[in-house]
Structures are given as C-alpha cells and as structure tokens.
A and B are shown apart, each in its own frame.
Chain A
C-alpha cells in the first residue's frame, strides 16, 4: 500500500495531505516565515509522519512560495546582466508600455539588475548567423560584487554558441557566482521576455538553492523522502532540477490547486471545468479542458514576464476577507483591501471592525456559528460591522467581481462555460459557487471533500514533468522532420501571435488551419505557415488518485447550508445533489432559473 504526502506552504498556513490507501488525512499548521523547511516538517509531524516511529512515505511532493516571495519582496541575489554590446539595457527598456494608462505616478517594478551592473560583450548573431565574432576580452573584469549573473545575447535561441562561450568564461573567471544563460532556461525568440526570464532565474538561484538544500537535509533528518517540487507548469521535478532553475517554481502553490481541481473533476467524470479557488484575500480561477488545467507559455509575476510554461491561472484581489466600502460614486465595493488573517473578519472576534464578505455570509446563515476548525464566529460583532449594509448586497457585489474573473478565463477566450462544471474550493469558494454558476448558465458545481487543502491534494496527484522548447521561426515547409509528440507553436507568416497545435495531428498544417478557424473564426489555407517553436515534455504520470469518502453520503436540497469536513457550502434554492463515492459533493441545478 502506497502512502503519498503533499505539503503546500502558503503565506499563512502550511497544508498537508496524506493519501493512504484511498483515505485522505489532512493537517494545517501555521507557516514559519523565513524557515519554510520547519513548517514542512511540522506539518508532516502533525500527520504522524517522520521521526523514528512515524509512518514511512513512498512519495512526497512539495509546493513552495520561496521563489515567489523572494521575487516579490526583492530578496534574491545581487545580480549582473550581460547582453550583446549596444543592447545592455534590455531589462530597462522592457516593451515601452507604461505601468498604467491614466495613473501617471504608477511605475513598473525596478528591473532586477541596475544599469550599473548591466554589461555588453562584443559579438553579434543575426537571423542568418554570426555577424560579428565573439570577443571575450570585452567581458567585464568586475561584476560589481554580483552573486549571480544572467547572460542574454541576441538570437541565442537560434544559435547558442556565443552564450555558451560567455557562460563558460564567466564560470571560470568568477567561481562561486551563479551563471545562467538564456538558452538554458528559455530558448525562445523575443529578447526582452527571454532576458527577463533569465534575469529572474539567476536572481532567484542562490536563495532557492539554499532553501531547497536546507529542506532536503531537514527531510532526511526527519525521515522523510527527498521531496519533489511543484513547478508552475503543474508537474513536479526533483530538488536538483528546481534549484537549477527556480524561475520554474514561481507559481508552485496555485498550480497545485488547479491540478487538484482537475483531478477531482476527472474522478467525478468531468473533463471540462473551471477551478474556482476563493480564499481570504484573493481568488484564482483556471479553465480545465480534457481533464487538465490549461497552461500558457508565459506569465507575469511581480510585473516581470516569465517565459516558461505555467498553469494559466487568473487572479483577482477579492475573497472572503475583502473589506466592504462605498466609493465616491456611491457604489458598494468589496476589496481589494482585506482584513487578512489578522485581525480577520469582524466575526472572528479578533478586533476586526470593518465589514467583510465573510461577515455577510454569516449574517445570511451561510456560515455556521462555529467553523470546522473550532473557531467560534461572533455574530454580534458581524452585525455591528455590517450596520446599515444589506448582506445580500455584499454578496451580489463580490459575486460580480468573481463573475468577471470567471468570464476572463471562459467567454473572453471563446470558451463556453455552459459546457463546464465549476470546481469550488478555498475557504469561500463553496459559499458562492452555485450563484455564480447560475450567472454563467452553468448547471453543475463540484465541491471536493478536501476543499480546504486542495493545493496539497494536487501535489499528491501531480505528474513528474520536464518541459523542453526548441525555437525555429522558419517556414513550416522547411522545418524537416519533427517529433511526433508534443506541441508546435504556429502562425501565419506576418502574424505576431502563435497558436499551439498538438504534433499528433495527422497533418500539422491542416491542424493549424482548423485551430485558427475554431479560435478566430476563419483560416487562410493559401497562406504560408511559420513554425515558431516545438514544445515537448518528458512526463512520468503521477499516482492514480484513489479517493474514498471519509464521511457517509450527504444529500442536499437547497436552500441549505452543508457542512463538509474541510468547508462550508451554500446550496441555494433550485440546487440539489449528494456526495459521490470520492466524497465530492456534486450539485446540480434541478429547477430552471426563474
């Protein structure tokens, strides 16, 4: 019998899920900031894992915010940047757009490398090959005390020879300095995005390696296997792989939630869904098709583009803890200010006095007087905070925010939400899901029994994955033999956007025309197609997820509040359902909308 452990370290709590022969055990401990490895061991211990007499574990996956925090809080390494001479300021030029159209004082975040540590090396490769040979004598003699250096030369996605030579020279001259070359991490065309990804990777290298090495050592001490680390792509990799390129783990935590939602949906026989993770301060949504969370080729983290495969999550700054206020135009608003975990909503009784979405849910009877974790809710405090505010209005307003997020990942991408189920999790997701489904014409809502720790469940279920990309940027007709598995980024010659088409299509060109027709409403079979990149992945499938309900069958006919082990769910009138054999509450609209 296999025992699989998933531990997700979040900003406030560290969640652990143990899957033991189909049964799920969960634990939550407070995250120790700055010592995430201790939180991991503590969460394992809370499940009786580790130590001399602890349960032995067969597989252990880990989601971490270490890289994300280091990037957002700017606590990475002192980094230098080496580019083709004449192009030293790539990181500062960005794409020339400003931070906000109308807020003139808004600024993009500072580049990770200042101008004075941005260097040029004489060399030039063009679209047709070498234009100017590499002159290593023009490399800087002094990196300004940098611990890490990123190298991004023009056209290195096509010919990495100069970058390889520069990286080798830097490693030799500056032993101990962490060197990353762009072709090693994101060999794709468009120099700014490649440079930004490379600089982030170099910047995060030392701090991520220190953490992951400390974690591996601490796990060994505690009798845990070496963890696999969740990547932004939704797969896991070894500690060594993640430490080598930490830009790969920037969306580690949210990716686990989307993977978990996809796996729970699949167990319920649902292939098309929207993952809806509504937490205290923010909400993540992600489209799921063919039983897998959608992925994108790029994501912006902390204002910096990261050109690496990422679960395609859309985040909005509203959740259960969002504070309710009225703006200068007289509109009721919720968020982005949040009561957070401390003091929390007024009803937590920890000194919060401002009305939040959670207080409104309590007053509407959608939350119990005592939460599953034992927290008693203070109804009187909620009433005081909500004085003069109709709680139904608060729900309507926050739902309007959620709805816009759900529309961004569905209708705005040309996807019909009516074909999808809504998988609701996070503390507040199951309270709002059915009403949101109604607004989008969706008729099915799934609430997993692990709704409170779904990211950790996603870790348990994750596959091992290594993504590769090879750039072409040439006519498809001239590309020669291509791999049979994976995906191709294709476009009509002259377009600046690519579409990703599976290489398994019997005729790749035909597959592209069809995909173009589906996505954009037309195709042009006479027009030349350009192959931009080939994406492949080495995948070792994750464990088969066997989930059994850890409670008896629960039936629900709305209007009804349903208490599940990890969450409270609100079932409005017209909705009904029951838990299935995996413990997932499957709700359906039984009566047509009035």
Chain B
C-alpha cells in the first residue's frame, strides 16, 4: 500500500493495551452493575481520552453511545478537574445525551477516563424516566450539569430518583471502572514512559483516521440529499440532510430540518453526531477502532434550535431512540444516491412500550425487520441501527410482572419484496393482569421503511389495544384483561423483485 505510514510496532502494542483498558473498564462496569439495563442490556460504554480531550479508545455495546462522549469531556475540562476527582453529568445541553444516561469523567495520570450508563430511573414525571408526553426537559428527570460527584451531590441525586439503592449500586459500578482506569493508566505510564504513551495515543487516533479516510476516499465525490419524516403527536417533523463527499472528507449538513418543537423527539447535537458516525462507520470501515480520529474526517453541521441540535429546555427523551433512528435512515438514503450498495431501511423505530402502576414499571423495546442489502436478505426480528439490546425472555417477564404474553412470533410477509427481501417484523401480544398505564412511543406507524434500488417498502408497524389501533405515541389507562398487540415494521427490500 502506498502513502500509508507504517506504525512503529511498539506504539501499536501500547495502543492495543490502551484499548484493553477501555474494554476492561466496560467489563468491570457490566459485571458490577446492579440493574438489568446495564448488566443484561449492556446499555453503557467506557472510554479513555487524551489530555487534549480527544478520544483514544472506546468500548461500546450499543451504537447510540458511539462517539458521543467528547462533549462530556469538553464540558468537564472547563472545571479544571484534578487527579482523584470524579465528575458527573447527564445534562443533554452540556455534554450529555438524554437524562437517563449518566456520565462520569475523571482525570487519569495521562488524560481522562469516561463511563456512561443508562440508568433505569432518574426521576421525572413517569417511572423509568422515558415519558411519552414530556414537553420540557424538566419533566424527564433530575438534570445534572457537570459537577463534582461528592457525597452531597449524591444525596441530592438519590433523593430525586425512584430506586435509590439501585442507582447507588450502578453509580458504584461506574466508579469502580474509573478506579480501574486510573490504576491501569498509572501502570502503563510508569512502565512505558509518558512520552511514549502519549505518542501511542496520537498514533491510535491517527490510525483510525487513516482507515476512515481511506473508506471515504473510495466514495464518489459529490453532494447527495435526502429527507424523511417523524410522526409526532401533532403536525409533521422533517429531517433534511445534504452529504458532501470531497476526497477523503465528508460534510453532513442538516440545513432545512424542522425546528425543535414542544414534544420529546428533539436531539442534542451529541446524539445527532452519534447517528452520523454510525452511518459513516457502517459504510466505510465497520471494524475501525472507535477513537477521535475515526470521526475527524466528518463534519456535522446542524442549525442550532433545530430538531437535531436542540436548545434548552427542549424535551429530548425520544431523540435517543427514535430521532436517531430516523437520522440514520435519512443519511443512508443520501449515501444511496452516491453508491448502489447502501442497504434498504430497517424498521426505523425501537417500539418503546412501558407498562406501570404504583406497584410496578416495565419498559421494553422491540426489534423488527432489517433492510435487505446487495447479496443478502434483511434479518428478521432484530434491533436495527442505533440499538442492539437483548429482549426480556417470556419466562423472566411473566415471573416478574403482572403481565402475560399471549403471542410472540414473527410477522411473516412484512419485509419488503425485492431481489433481496427485507426482514420481517415481530408480533407481541401482552395481556395485563391488573389495572395499569400503557405508554407507547413508536415510529413507522404512518410512513413505511423504504426499499433501496427498486426494492419494495417494508410493512408499517401497528399498535392495537383490544384490536383497535392506537396512534404512534399514546398514553392510555388499561384495565385488567386488556390486550395490547404490538406489530413491528418490516425492513425494505433491495433491488427490483424478479
């Protein structure tokens, strides 16, 4: 290969050790967490940053965390953190994503350690802190701007959250991952020397950047546009994007996207950027190690005050799950005009369902059809794009909640036809055994996931209460015996059907 500098192997080996530290932080966090959201669904990530605030290595299990941390480190850097201090934040407008994602940042011997985990409750108007009807950030839970995590702050946090013991346990798990990172970075600096480790950090960042640049350079130059819509309670929300490929650089511009609105599909810029990185990584180099360099060739422009770069105090809780999914769909459509290998759209929603009353709260997301691509049918019944969490087994679910699953099956024929077929959605039918409230936050109920290269769209999703359709977003009081049926969307087909 010409033009690619060979990496000194010593730096490569140290880089591998730095990546291993991020992995080990993640293992510690998952192992010691209290709640199933972190432990089983692995809705968390950990990372090491260089002293200048660039990300060196990240361990993430869910793409929505990809590359969304630099804002958190930048926000904490302004507070001049000292070795041994731990900072906490969840404010989407100063380094966070949505309020349930609590981020810790600490200084190490050389740079910073960061952990982020989705906590099962951070207060607010509804249990689980994922209200379908929130109109302002204040309703979604306790807001933590970057602040030192001292006993006083912890007391305030726990007083505002519904399950304080669990929160304490999960925060302790995050803290343990930071202690580990501090010790490991100290060891590696002592053994290899500050300057060598710094050089290895630089090299890791430069390495990812070269790989992504090589991937972008393989795409045809030009400007490619696309738009798509979301399904708010009232009106229409539009996402408009223009992708400009110029050599080995990319610009993604959301000019023309709807302004932020008084619902909760708004996104802070960090979430929008994660969605962009997901698409770029998938299309250029899926195996590139996540670091600041991987995102350096990508510029994201989003008008301040728009749906994808919202301003305080817009509510944002569904931005993470639903708007981020639509951003990826829109971007894939735009790239599909540049190259003919971009897959069709997947289900494009996480089908968020919450049941609860004074005695219990249950939240789940459901998979659906993935879009087909060149040479492959779309997988059925999976989480697509920004999520990838495990389901709750029927037996675990019924042992824990006053709910019964009456049907759990594929939704045959819902994948779009094409040379390659889209994946099928899921049918899940739940009978509630006591009075409770249902909250549904779903998309692709009114607009189908599109096919690509002449493939047919996938089927839209539906939510039914005792056989009657519900709107995409709904909060309803249920009586014992009511049956909620969720039918998730299919994926689009790829290529014209024979």
A101 and B382 alpha carbons, distance in the complex (Å): 11
Which chain A positions have C-beta within 8 A of B390? 95-97
Q: With CB as the reference atom, state the residue of chain A lying closest to B33.
A: A520
Contact residue range for chain A? 35 or more
Q: Separation in Å of the A410 CB from the closest CB of chain B?
A: 10
Q: Which of A90, A126, A495 contacts B404 (CB 8 A)?
A: A126
In the complex, 11 of the A-B residue pairs with CB atoms within 8 angstroms, ordered by the A residue number, are A96-B367, A103-B287, A107-B379, A189-B395, A326-B1, A329-B4, A329-B208, A331-B7, A332-B7, A496-B36, A497-B36
Instruction: Choose, from B16-24, B90-98, B438-446, the stretch at the interface.
Output: B16-24
Residue of A nearest to B364 (CB): A96
Q: Which residues of chain A come closer than 8 Å to B39, judged between CB atoms? A: 495-497
Kindly list chain B residues whose C-beta atoms are within 8 Å of the C-beta of A330. 1, 4-7, 207, 210
Q: Tell me the nearest residue of chain B to A93, going by C-beta.
A: B381
Known contacts A107-B376, A189-B396, A397-B9, then 17 further A-B pairs from the complex at CB < 8 Å, ordered by chain A residue: A86-B406, A93-B391, A93-B426, A96-B383, A96-B391, A97-B383, A101-B63, A105-B375, A191-B395, A192-B393, A326-B1, A328-B1, A328-B214, A331-B7, A494-B36, A497-B40, A521-B176
B409 close to A93 (CB less than 8 A) = yes
**Which residues of A lie under 8 Å from residue B165 when comparing CB positions?**
524, 527
B380-396 contacts to A (CB < 8 Å) = 380-384, 388-391, 393-396
Verify A154–B410 contact, CB threshold 8 A: no
Contacting residues, chain B, for A470 (C-beta < 8 A): none
Q: In the bound complex, do residue B20 and residue A105 qualify as a contact, i.e. CB atoms below 8 Å apart?
A: no
Asked, given contacts A86-B406, A328-B1, A329-B207, whether A98 binds B40 with beta carbons under 8 Å apart, the answer is no
Interface string of B400-443 (1 = CB under 8 A from A): 10001011111010000000000000100100000000000000
Which A-chain residue is minimally distant from B37 (CB atoms)? Answer: A496
Q: A242 to B236: give the CA distance in the assembly, Å.
A: 62
Whether A101 pairs with B9 at a CB distance below 8 angstroms is no
- Interchain nearest-CB distance for A90 vs B (Å): 8
Residue numbers in A under 8 Å from B27 (CB-CB): 412-413
The docked-state distance in angstroms from the alpha carbon of A250 to that of B282 is 34
Partner of B376, one of A105, A154, A397, A399: A105
Specify which chain A residues have a CB less than 8 angstroms from the CB of B295 in the assembled complex: none
Q: Chain B nearest CB: distance from A76 CB in Å?
A: 22
Minimal Cβ-Cβ distance residue in B for A86: B407
A400 and B393 within 8 A (CB): no
Query: Quick one: closest B residue to A192, CB to CB?
Result: B393
CA–CA, A359 and B375, complex, Å = 38
Least CB distance from B297 to A in Å reads 13
Q: Contact mask A104-131 → B, CB, 8 Å, 1/0?
A: 1101100000010000000000110001
For residue A527, which residues in chain B have a CB less than 8 angstroms away from its CB? 165
Q: How far is the CB of B445 from chain A (nearest CB, A)?
A: 19
B293: nearest chain-A partner, CB-CB: A329
Contact (Cβ within 8 A) A331 B12: yes
- A88–B409 CA distance with the chains assembled, in angstroms: 7
Residues of B within 8 A of A99 (CB): 379
A residues whose Cβ falls under 8 Å from a Cβ of B = 86-90, 92-105, 107-108, 115, 126-127, 131, 154-155, 157, 189-192, 326-332, 390, 392-393, 396-397, 399-400, 403-404, 407, 411-414, 473, 494-497, 519-522, 524, 527
B169 → chain A closest CB, angstroms: 7
Report yes or no: B394 in contact with A328, Cβ–Cβ below 8 A. Answer: no
Measured CA separation A521–B390 after assembly (Å): 25
In the complex with contacts A89-B409, A105-B373, A328-B1, A495-B34 CB distance below 8 A = yes
Q: How many chain-B residues does the 8 Å CB contact rule pick out?
A: 79
A191 to B4, CA, bound (A): 50
CA–CA, A192 and B396, complex, Å: 11
Within 8 A of A (CB), among B317-359: 343
Q: Which of B343, B393, B426 contacts A191 (CB 8 A)?
A: B393
Closest chain B CB from A175 CB (angstroms): 30
- Closest chain-B Cβ to A580's Cβ sits at a distance in Å of 32
CB distance from B428 to the nearest CB of A (A): 9
> Which residues in B have their C-beta under 8 angstroms from that of A100?
286
CA distance A54 to B429 in the complex (A): 66
Partner pick for B9 among A94, A332, A412, CB 8 A cutoff: A332
A108 vs chain B, min Cβ distance (A): 7
Q: How many CB-defined contacts (below 8 Å) exist between A and B? A: 196
In the bound complex, do residue A92 and residue B410 qualify as a contact, i.e. CB atoms below 8 Å apart?
A: yes
**Chain B interfacial positions (CB closer than 8 Å to A):** 1, 4-7, 9-10, 12-13, 16-17, 20, 23-24, 27-28, 31-32, 34, 36, 39-40, 61-63, 165-166, 169, 172-173, 176, 207-208, 210-211, 214-215, 278, 281-282, 285-288, 343, 366-367, 370-371, 373-376, 379-384, 388-391, 393-396, 398-400, 404, 406-410, 412, 426, 429
Query: B180's closest neighbor in chain A, by CB?
Result: A411
Assembly CA distance A211 to B381 (angstroms): 36
B78 nearest CB across to chain A (Å) = 31
* CA distance in complex: A92, B380 (Å): 8
Please determine whether B286 and A103 come into contact, CB atoms closer than 8 angstroms. yes
- Cα–Cα distance between A396 and B200 once the two chains are bound (Å): 15
B204 → A minimal CB distance (Å): 10
Residues of A contacting B366 with CB < 8 Å?
Answer: 96
With a 10 A CB-CB cut-off, give which of A99, A190, A331, A414 has the most chain B CB atoms: A331
Q: In this complex, which of A96, A191, A326, A412 has the most chain B Cβ atoms within 10 angstroms of its Cβ?
A: A96
Please tell me which one of the listed residues B20, B381, B407 contacts residue A96 in the complex, with CB atoms under 8 A apart: B381
Nearest CB of B to A162, in Å = 14
Closest approach, in angstroms, between the C-beta of A573 and any C-beta of chain B?
A: 18
The answer to whether A97 and B389 have CB atoms under 8 Å apart is yes
The docked-state distance in angstroms from the alpha carbon of A533 to that of B383 is 30
Identity of the chain B residue whose Cβ is nearest the Cβ of A527 in the assembled complex: B165
Tell me how far the C-beta of B476 lies from the nearest C-beta in chain A, rounded to whole angstroms. Answer: 24
Which of A101, A103, A327, A403 is the most central at the interface, judged by chain B CB atoms within 10 Å of its CB? Answer: A101
Instruction: Kindly state the separation between the CA atoms of A512 and B317 in the bound complex, as whole angstroms.
Output: 37
Q: Check B211 against A98 for contact (C-beta < 8 Å).
A: no
Asked if B4 and A519 sit within 8 Å, CB to CB, the answer is: no
Contacts of A96 in B (CB 8 A): 366-367, 381-383, 389-391, 426
Are B9 and A393 closer than 8 Å at their CB atoms? yes
Q: Considering the chains assembled together, what is the distance between the CA atoms of A331 and B211 in angstroms?
A: 10
Looking across the interface, which residue of chain A has its beta carbon closest to that of B169? Answer: A522
B172 interface neighbour in A90, A92, A126, A521, Cβ under 8 Å? A521
In chain B, what residue has the closest Cβ to A103?
A: B286
Taken together as a complex, chains A and B put the C-alpha atoms of A89 and B17 apart, in Å, by 42
A332 pairs with B12, CB closer than 8 A: yes
Closest 6 pairs between A and B when the two form their complex, measured CB to CB: A102-B286, A96-B367, A412-B27, A496-B36, A86-B407, A329-B211
Question: Cβ of A87: which chain B residues have Cβ within 8 Å of it?
Answer: 394, 407-409
Chain B positions within 8 Å of A519 at CB level:
31-32
Residues from chain A with a CB closer than 8 A to the CB of B394 are 87, 154, 191
Partner among B16, B36, B381 whose Cβ is within 8 Å of the Cβ of A94: B381
Are the CB atoms of B381 and A407 closer together than 8 Å? no
Most B CB contacts (10 A, CB to CB) among A115, A330, A392, A522 go to: A330
Closest to A492 in B: B34
Verify A154–B63 contact, CB threshold 8 A: no
B56 to chain A, nearest CB (A): 15
Which chain B residue shows the least CB distance to A473? B399
B213 → A minimal CB distance (Å): 9
**Distance from A130 Cβ to chain B, minimum over Cβ atoms (Å):** 13
CB distance from A322 to the nearest CB of B (A): 15
Contact A328–B4 (Cβ < 8 Å): yes
B25 to chain A minimum Cβ distance, whole angstroms, is 10
In the docked arrangement, what's the CA distance between A519 and B27, Å? Answer: 12
- Report yes or no: B381 in contact with A92, Cβ–Cβ below 8 A: yes
Distance between Cα atoms of A400 and B382 in the complex (Å)? 34
The answer to whether A328 and B285 touch across the interface, beta carbons within 8 angstroms, is yes
Pair A102/B409 contact, Cβ less than 8 Å: no
**Choice from B4, B24, B282, B426 contacting A412 with Cβ under 8 Å:** B24
Q: Which residues of B contact A105 (CB under 8 A)?
A: 343, 373-376
Residues of B within 8 A of A189 (CB): 393, 395-396, 399
Q: How far is the CA of A103 from the CA of B398 in the complex (A)?
A: 34
Write out the residue numbers on chain B whose beta carbons fall within 8 Å of the beta carbon of A86.
406-409, 429
* A329 proximity list for chain B (CB < 8 A): 4, 7, 207-208, 210-211, 214, 288
